[in-house]
Amino acid sequence: MSPEQGGILDRYRTLWRQAQSQRAKAEELKSRSRELSARVSQLESAVRLARGHYQQVLPRHVAGHVDEHTVNKAKEDLAHAEADLAEAKGMFQALQAELPKVTAQIPSVGEIELARRAAWEVIYRDLLAQVPKEVPQLMAKIYAALLEHHPDATFSVALLAMCPEAPSRRQCTELTEQLAAAYDISP
């Protein structure tokens, strides 16, 4: 196999792995984003409760029914809840901003498909190069003799004579998986 052909296989491997990696990152970001969205909703409720509690305590403090420690505690609870909410919203926005960047780095399906086909062409040509030089001449002779016997025969009939049982779809799938493993590419 030439270095150029090896480069074609490497390109496909790289695109495939990049797509897998970036898709996994995008899914993780989506999952974390959903979790943070739920967390933001919980924290918004906590802020509303803390604010409501503080607004109830403050007039009671002015009236002299609640001490300053209770007011300060309600104020601190509100401040903590608001800080937690602000942090969660910031993280959520950061995740939302990162997701399109990660998604943009996923190679397109068309680009991967072109690289996949090019890789399989390299494999096809590599396998053809392994065929002994006598075989094409022998096939031509078989076809010539076949034409004398059956003038309307196609070349595929000559191929069937060499390989009387064409591989089934399942066998082709198994062979494809074996070739993919041998050439270290995704099928």
User: Alpha-carbon distance 154 to 59, whole Å?
Assistant: 99
First to last CA, the chain: 19
pLDDT, one tens digit per residue, over 3-44 is: 899 999 999 999 999 999 999 999 999 999 999 999 999 999
pLDDT of residue 157: 81
CB-based contacts of 14-23 (< 8 A; 24+ apart in sequence): 15/107, 15/111, 15/112, 15/115, 16/112, 16/115, 16/116, 16/185, 16/186, 18/105, 18/106, 18/107, 19/106, 19/107, 19/112, 22/102, 22/103, 22/105, 22/106, 22/107, 23/106
**Residue 142 clears pLDDT 90, i.e. is over it:** no
Q: What is the phi/psi pair of residue 153, to 5°?
A: -70, 145
pLDDT of residue 49: 96
Single-letter amino acid, residue 81: A
Computed over every residue of the chain, the mean pLDDT equals: 92
